[in-house]
Amino acid sequence: MGKLYSLSAAQMKDLLNKKEVTSVEITKSVIDRIEKTDKEIQAYISYNFDEALKQAAAVDEKIAKGEKLADMAGIPVAVKDNMCTKNLRTTCASKMLGNFVPPYNATVVEKLLDEGAVIIGKTTMDEFAMGSSGENSAFQVARNPWDTSRVPGGSSSGSAATVAASQVPVALGSDTGGSIRQPACLCGIVGMKPTYGSVSRYGLVAFGSSLDQIGPMARCVDDTAMLFKSICGRDMRDATSKDYTYKPYGDSVKGIKLGIPKQYFGDGISAVVKEKVYRAVEVLKAQGAEVVEVSLPSTDYALSAYYIISSAEASSNLGRFDGVKYGYTGSKRGSLDELYESSRSEGFGDEVKRRIMLGTYVLSSGFYDAYYKKAKILQKNIAKEFDDAFKLCDAIITPINPTTAFKIGEKSDDPLAMYAGDICTVTLNIAGLPGISIPCGFSAEDNMPIGFQAIGKKFTEDKLFTIAKCYENAVGGFAVKEF
């Protein structure tokens, strides 16, 4: 049937329903594609090929019996390697968890398996999801399929890269400060960071518990929405999850008011990114959307608040990795203190250590009020500013990344420059809002993808999918890399 791996999930589903292909045929095509291309892309830490073929065969048996199948049945899915998968290694791209095999599945994985999805493997990421480039991994660096000398973004680097390289139609990522939207932008695909609480975090290895959110990534809007529909909803095992019901999205932006915040179009954003985002707004205006100016004055301080809050939560969450209960055990074991010190110094990479130290510092008795308490106050201010802005508009349009993807190694020695790239994305996690990354063209200078971000009120994912779908239709679909 040709290049089955290159089809969208919706196209695969249609062929399965018509019994024109089998899930095993689709899965074999995807596996073959990964085997041929992943040495260059390095999108996967662990493959699940044998089990994937068994999962696909089980779906084919159900089809043969005439059973009605769920949306994701028979569709290959890649999973970021910080989501627990029973009997399949979950490393968080860290030496600390290099041999960890969970005894249970994350809720999102369980939901997909219950629908009959085919779990194809676990994707490369920044260690413990701490990074914006995919370079902070203990094992390998994923590559951007549009130019393999460049980063795919992070921390969901492998998930973005495998989708962009047409290795798999859809993937799961996690987003703590932009880690779905930013790599989706840099790789030219669609990525949704859902409202905090709309998708269960049970089984997601925690980075910043009040900021983390699992979400879908795909090459088109319909696939992104289809995957989101399968994973969203209440989970009794996650007290922060909400009673959320998926709502279908519309086919018109007529009358939708789009807010443009001047603070997101400042000097730090490259001219070509601004141009492409403004042009995308004009495309939506031509379809009947209205544009208003809004203000989010605390944006300049959001990055500082984010790194204080996220690092504080990281230092607390990663305290469980001590070399005793599970994970890497250090080489020095003369005393308990020596064991802790060697396990954590040998098991964690530089970026993780950097954030643990920062988090421990801002939580210490002498600096809690000066840093962490102020960051939490600023968090409330940022949320209120969004609330005020949404009184004037239905959604907010911004850039995602200040530039196109940079060269691998270009910013490795400058953590602050790396952190600055998150300025357009962290505010959503701070406020718990949904946001979607939508491809909007390429830079003429380096021919790399650019995307824009649509931000909505809490639990208005349907409106964001409407905006994304209408834009996708208007531009005739998104470019696919012939890799």
- Provide the 8-state DSSP code for 371: I
- Catalytic residue from among 13, 29, 80, 200: 80
- Provide the 8-state DSSP code for 394: S
Token representation of residue 20: 């024109």
Strand arrangement of the beta sheet that strand 118-123 belongs to: 44-47, 118-123, 76-80, 170-174, 214-218, 190-193, 435-442, 449-456, 395-399, 257-261, 290-294
Contact 175, 215 (CB under 8 A): yes
Contact 176, 208 (CB under 8 A): yes
CA angle 21, 23, 25 (to 5 degrees): 65
Contact 150, 403 (CB under 8 A): no
Token representation of residue 209: 């518990």
Say how far apart CA 368 and CA 204 lie, in whole Å. 27
The DSSP line for 238-271 is -TT----------S--TT-EEEEEGGGGSTTS-H
Q: How far is CA 69 from CA 73, 76, 431, in A?
A: 6, 15, 37
Q: How far is CA 101 from CA 72, 105, 318, 351, 412, in A?
A: 25, 10, 18, 24, 30
Active site residue 179: yes
Contact 244, 234 (CB under 8 A): yes
Q: Any long-range contacts for 323-332 (C-beta under 8 Å, 24+ apart)? A: 323/347, 326/100, 327/96, 327/97, 327/100, 328/95, 328/96, 328/97, 328/98
Q: How far is CA 372 from CA 57, 307, 351, 366, 378, in A?
A: 52, 10, 20, 11, 10
Q: How many CB atoms lie within 10 A of CB 236?
A: 9
- Catalytic residue from among 133, 166, 179, 241: 179
Cα-to-chain-centroid distance, residue 222: 17
- Catalytic residue from among 29, 132, 155, 157: 155
Active site residue 155: yes
Burial of 446 from C-beta contacts in 10 A (0-12 / 13-18 / 19+) = middle
Say how far apart CA 383 and CA 379 lie, in whole Å. 6
Identify residue 46 by its one-letter amino acid code. Answer: S
Token representation of residue 437: 């990354």
Residue for token pair 């649509």: 454
Q: Which positions are catalytic?
A: 80, 155, 179
